[in-house]
Structure 1
Amino acid sequence: MSSPHSPAALPAPTVAQAVAAVAAGGVIGAWLRYTVATAAPIAAGSFDWTTFAINVLGSFALGALISYLTQRRFRHPLWRPFLGTGLLGGFTTFSTYAVEAQSLLRVGHAVTAVLYLAGTLACAVVAALLGIALMRRALRA
């Protein structure tokens, strides 16, 4: 028998509902990213610590979120698209990270570009795994 909070008790969202959830979360996430980026601007042709921090923090949050949503019985079907794809997808900015790496290459900072690409990717993966592990531990407690 399913509880009132189990996924079986909730109807599957329509495509329109899922798209609306992603769009609403994306607006909030992009606004947050814009707010952080404008509060901590960087000089052109330098390592963008702001984008790096946004992507690593967003990866940590996504790992924790997915861990939470997959381990809890209450999983409304719109939380994942709203928070994961929408909010955190809008907050993180891996497309900007790629453009910034290209810009570093254009101005002759190849070593910085490689460090930026590899460092962001490695730290984002570690952050996501850490988010998963810490959420699992918190949910067991």
Structure 2
Amino acid sequence: MIYLFIGVAGSFGAILRYMTGVVLYDESVVFPFATLTVNLIGSFLLAWFTTGIVKWFSLSPLFKAAIGTGFIGSFTTFSALSVETVTLVRNGDLVLALIYVLVSVFGGLVMSRVGFSLSKGEAV
């Protein structure tokens, strides 16, 4: 049964990921803003959800897995970050590739910290 819940939630996360890409896509822009956006939002959401929402409400393990692994897991995308970074490097955009990786990693850590802080009612 858990696989069904993860799959259904994952389909919604994947659809939202695709829609975000459609909205943020601009063929004239080389930088992968859509992937960066979903990964930063996902970092915040996963931290906020796992430390706040699950403690504020008595959520079943089924629902936790569906949201954390299914929805947020399919919304974010490390594989796209990797491919887009390699593409930037292959196209000679080394500085953009480095900026992308640094902003993705450190931005993800910052967004996770914000998610943890907000879930515990702390100042950010």
Considering the TM-score relative to the shorter chain, is it more than 0.5? yes
Alignment partner of 2:41 out of 48, 57, 70:
57
**55, 60, 69: which one pairs with 1:76?**
60
Q: Deviations over 1:111-132 (max 9, x none)?
A: 1111101110110111011101
Is the counterpart of residue 67 in structure 1 residue 51 in structure 2?
Answer: yes
**Which one-letter code corresponds to 2:119 in the other structure?**
M
Residues 15-69 of structure 1: per-residue CA shift (max 9 Å, x gap): xx22112111110000001011011213377211121111101110111000124
Task: Show structure 2 runs of 5+ residues with no match.
Answer: none
SS at match of 1:46: coil
Output the CA distance in 2 between the equivalents of 1:58 and 1:19.
21
Larger radius of gyration: 1
Per-residue deviation at 1:80? 1.4
Contact persistence 2:17–2:74 (CA under 8 A): yes
In the superposition, relative to structure 1, how do residues 44 and 97 fare at CA in structure 2: closer, same or farther (>3 Å)? farther
1:90 equivalenced with 2:82 (yes/no): no
1:70 CA displacement: 4.6
State whether residues 69 and 80 of structure 1, in contact with CA within 8 Å, keep that contact through their aligned partners in structure 2: no
Which ranges of structure 1 fall in alignment gaps of 5 or more residues? 1-16
Equivalent residues, number: 122
Amino acid at match of 1:76: S
Instruction: Report % sequence identity.
Output: 29
Corresponding residue for 1:135?
A: 119
TM-score under structure 2 normalisation? Answer: 0.90
Between Structure 1 and Structure 2, the one with more helix by share is 2
Q: Is the 8 A contact 1:45 1:107 kept in 2?
A: no
Matched-pair contact (CA < 8 Å) for 1:62–1:88: yes
Structure 1 length-normalised TM: 0.80
Query: 1:1-141 residue pairs with structure 2 within 5 A?
Result: 17-43=1-27, 46-72=30-56, 74-137=58-121
